Chain A
Amino acid sequence: MPKHPRPLSPHLQVYRPQLTSVLSVFHRGTGGALSVASVILIYWLWALAAGPEAYATAQGLLHSWFGVLVVVGISGSIFYHLCTGVRHLIWDTARGLDIRAVYRSGGMALFIALLLTLAFWFVALWSVGLIQSLWKGVLS
């Protein structure tokens, strides 16, 4: 630890939340949360290798209301982190760095993340047959 005083930037809480700072905080937050959630992917792979009973237990957990809640969080976080991550990659090429472009790309990242999350859930609900049964319910 350095003994001589170094200049410190002001603490986060003195700033009024802005789209720029909030997206940045959430990019780091979702990154950390997804790192922790990666345990679930490894558990799922392990259960798949362990056999049908272990896999049924894993499916039971993932399809419970709490499991679905967790997967909603993971899917939203991963597509958000992916979109804001691509935004960082674009910034690294020194493009889109003026304040108007930053706000525009921030809104775009949120919108694309939402679309990807909705697409993910459409595929997932289609896979378990919920969309088809809902559709039949609408027709009958």
Chain B
Amino acid sequence: MSSLRSPLGRALGQGSTGEGAHHWWLMRLSSVAMVPLMLWLMFSLAALAGADHATVTAWLAFPLNTTLMILAVATLFFHANMGLQVIIEDYVHHAGLKFTTLIAVKFALILLAVTGIVAILRIAFGS
């Protein structure tokens, strides 16, 4: 076995799409951010499990919590998008279906993230 790479790929000297290292780096960067954000999110939600609507709303409207919740939602969906992208690329082999799934998942995740952030801002600004 000489090489796993196609002659064209070898000639161009790039990864799968020319930005494999960039994807790898963003995955690591978001992972590092996720560690404190998800620990904060999970233990905050646990502490709020027994609280009523007014208490939870007041907690989320506190500026530090608003900021961290927006960062948590944004980072979570950024990280999920890259993780699901790798999973789809690995297991969906039909080119057209792969392309469609990748785009559909990306759009769904962006829709969820924006819905979440709008909800947080509504609570923060009391509308």
Q: Is the CB of B1 within 8 A of A48?
A: no
In the bound complex, residues from chain B placing their C-beta under 8 Å from that of A6 are: 4
A19 at the interface (CB under 8 A from B): no
Taken residue by residue from 24 to 45, chain A's Cβ proximity to chain B (1 for < 8 Å, 0 otherwise) reads as 0000100110110011011001
Taken residue by residue from 48 to 82, chain A's Cβ proximity to chain B (1 for < 8 Å, 0 otherwise) reads as 11011001100000000000000000010011001
A32 to B92, CA, bound (A): 14
A49 to B124, CA, bound (A): 9
Q: Is the CB of B46 within 8 A of A85?
A: no
**Contact A48 B57, CB 8 Å, known A85-B31, A89-B28:** yes
Interface of B is mostly: helix
A103 at the interface (CB under 8 A from B): no
Q: Is the CB of B43 within 8 A of A127?
A: no
Q: Is the CB of A35 within 8 A of B38?
A: no
Q: Is the CB of A48 within 8 A of B56?
A: yes
Q: Is the CB of B38 within 8 A of A78?
A: yes
Give the A-B contact count at a CB cut-off of 8 A. 101
Please tell me which one of the listed residues B6, B32, B50, B57 contacts residue A2 in the complex, with CB atoms under 8 A apart: B6
A124 at the interface (CB under 8 A from B): yes
> Interface residues of A, CB < 8 Å — how many?
40
B39 at the interface (CB under 8 A from A): yes
**Contact A89 B42, CB 8 Å, known A35-B80, A52-B53:** no
Which of A38, A51, A55, A128 has most B Cβ within 10 Å? A38
In the bound complex, residues from chain A placing their C-beta under 8 Å from that of B4 are: 6-7
B35 at the interface (CB under 8 A from A): yes
Please tell me which one of the listed residues A46, A75, A119, A124 contacts residue B116 in the complex, with CB atoms under 8 A apart: A46
In the bound complex, residues from chain B placing their C-beta under 8 Å from that of A56 are: 53
Q: Is the CB of A38 within 8 A of B76?
A: yes
Please tell me which one of the listed residues A7, A86, A92, A127 contacts residue B49 in the complex, with CB atoms under 8 A apart: A127
**CB-nearest residue of chain B to A56:** B53
Q: Is the CB of B32 within 8 A of A89?
A: yes
10 contacts between A and B (CB under 8 A): A32-B84, A35-B83, A38-B80, A38-B112, A42-B113, A45-B116, A52-B54, A79-B42, A127-B50, A128-B50
